[in-house]
Structure 1
């Protein structure tokens, strides 16, 4: 029912909601996963247009570690009075060994642990402040071989897709020709469809946004998957007096933000512009609720190994860096205990020595007293 007399005021509710969201800000957690040497660090710095993570040049000269690490980077992006707390989860060491059997387990455990941690916080009496590190999007970097997906890629992507929004990307796409890249995308799509791997796709039937331009943009994003990307922290002159991020070759520049060269702009739009809220809401309503339902119902992973376990162990972390810190704390605690024990033994020895000294003094005093008593008796005998 509409009225021409006076407005009720509900039209101002979106503005109020915008003020609340603007004041509280948002949280977005992005995980990058893939083999070493695919440009994950360069892509992160290119995406956020800052040196968010430095290249670990020493790691290349070190021996390959057997375990996958979890490295969390935190930053705050501010734009138009809106702050976005960004967590970037890197997984160095993934797929670097000769035997990569269950190398995805560390990644899966981390995603499950974050869901479990958030669920436990919701069960607490005070829930005003919650630490949320649930992964909203996982970028899986595929090596540009031009042949297809490896068994490790298929198994890892299948397990990740049941827990988080999976977005496959082809790393260093400038190493393939345009035709090779197109054929490679087709092969990857065929494998994803055949293996029933669920990847994140922008919604096309969003009734709240009937804008044809947005629908067309969503179709272009879906058609571009998996995204072919390149990254570069260097800027070069494009010949028109503009400094642009690109990779320089003897035959010319490969521009990062040129849609005819790669899909970087489309991926950035998906992650940070048009579908950021979709990634966050799907994590809350789809993946987290599915995990919560399985945990509360007591469903196990015997039927489908890709699903979360019935009661996952409370794993602190598989990160060797945390393990080293834990060992250092244990050593510090052990050293403190040994020092206290040594101090106690020294104190006990001092008490024994003091007791011996006091006993010796007491014996001397008693001997003097006895001698004086004998002298007294002698004097008494002489007097009589």
Structure 2
């Protein structure tokens, strides 16, 4: 008996394999119609084992003015000291006259799966009185990584595994002013949104009340729509039902309100990541769980 899911799968396969030549014919054969075991499912197991052995790469860029907790949030996301600030014993945060890009890489292993994580920091962005064109070095860097990867792909004697330095995601930090997007925010996201997936976050969201945070989110959404800025995840025509439900849930939470912290505290006998104040412990939550979910989607796509 054909289930709704089987019918949907058959329709998708037929749509993808629709012949361009009128003499061609495509049919859909189910497992129950096969004469014996083919071993198609083993291919997925082989691909999974190969991925676990080789691992994969994930490159994330963090952009925002100084003091918004970029390093702390990255450490919170990946549950380890992965930011450049955390890994440098003699690190000194100083405001630079121009935007400089620095990257640091780590290999993270969890349950036998390896991931090479590269965090690209952009010190100097938005820290000047005149921030005109401060996005240009960032756009240039992103485009250069695309060109480098494309050259390797087009090379006849290309490597079996091409090193991937492309920026897969950019987290853009918005100060929790409670007002609207600044001209700098609009200009940056309009320009960079054309070349990389942008995820806007409200930094240090615990400085806003719940009502203030919600009102700020709505104003940001209005500004994004008014300026034609597309942020990740964008609506795709080929989203399946499961992806659409998940992505709609993520879209409703954008921009994410985050509280980053990499310090552990005891709360009711349990260890939690949080920030200690004289009123109590603020757990590193807010929309952080949705941000982690979003990265899970990105990593799933990367594999």
Taking structure 1 as the reference length, the TM-score comes to: 0.66
Query: What residue is the counterpart of 1:277 in the other structure?
Result: 300
Report the structure, 1 or 2, having the larger strand content. 2
Give the counterpart of 2:222 among 190, 211, 214.
Answer: 190
Is 1:177 the equivalent of 2:179? no
Report the structure, 1 or 2, having the larger helix content. 1
Query: 3-state DSSP class of the match of 1:274?
Result: helix
Query: What residue is the counterpart of 1:250 in the other structure?
Result: 278
Query: 3-state DSSP class of the match of 2:199?
Result: strand
Is 1:110 the equivalent of 2:110? no
Query: What residue is the counterpart of 2:254 in the other structure?
Result: 225
Distance in 2 (alpha carbons) for counterparts of 1:102 and 1:173: 28
Alpha-carbon shift at residue 197 of structure 1 (Å)? 0.7
Query: What residue is the counterpart of 1:6 in the other structure?
Result: 36
Distance in 2 (alpha carbons) for counterparts of 1:52 and 1:4: 50
Alpha-carbon shift at residue 43 of structure 1 (Å)? 0.8
Is 1:200 the equivalent of 2:232? yes
Query: What residue is the counterpart of 1:66 in the other structure?
Result: 97
Alpha-carbon shift at residue 163 of structure 1 (Å)? 0.3
User: Does the 8 Å contact 1:237/1:243 carry over to 2?
Assistant: yes
Change (3 A) 1:163 1:4: closer
Alpha-carbon shift at residue 44 of structure 1 (Å)? 1.2
Equivalent runs, 1:93-242 vs 2, <5 Å: 93-128=124-159, 129-201=161-233, 206-207=239-240, 210-211=241-242, 216-238=245-267, 240-242=268-270
Query: What residue is the counterpart of 1:287 in the other structure?
Result: none
User: Does the 8 Å contact 2:82/2:119 carry over to 1?
Assistant: no
Is 1:39 the equivalent of 2:66? no
Give the counterpart of 1:267 among 288, 291, 297.
Answer: 291
Structure 1 unmatched ranges of 5 or more:
282-384
Structure 2 unmatched ranges of 5 or more:
1-28
Distance in 2 (alpha carbons) for counterparts of 1:188 and 1:276: 27
How many residues get paired?
Answer: 268
- Can you list the C-alpha shifts for 1:30-83, whole angstroms capped at 9, x where unaligned? 0000000000011111111111233578645x5x32111111010111122211
Taking structure 2 as the reference length, the TM-score comes to: 0.82
User: Does the 8 Å contact 1:236/1:243 carry over to 2?
Assistant: yes
User: Does the 8 Å contact 2:96/2:123 carry over to 1?
Assistant: no
Give the counterpart of 1:19 among 18, 30, 49.
Answer: 49
Query: 3-state DSSP class of the match of 2:106?
Result: strand
Distance in 1 (alpha carbons) for counterparts of 2:195 and 2:297: 22
User: Does the 8 Å contact 1:202/1:221 carry over to 2?
Assistant: no
User: Does the 8 Å contact 2:59/2:119 carry over to 1?
Assistant: yes
Query: What residue is the counterpart of 2:14 in the other structure?
Result: none
Query: 3-state DSSP class of the match of 2:33?
Result: coil
Report which stretch shifted further, 245-254 or 27-36.
Answer: 245-254
- Can you list the C-alpha shifts for 1:176-199, whole angstroms capped at 9, x where unaligned? 000000000000000111111110
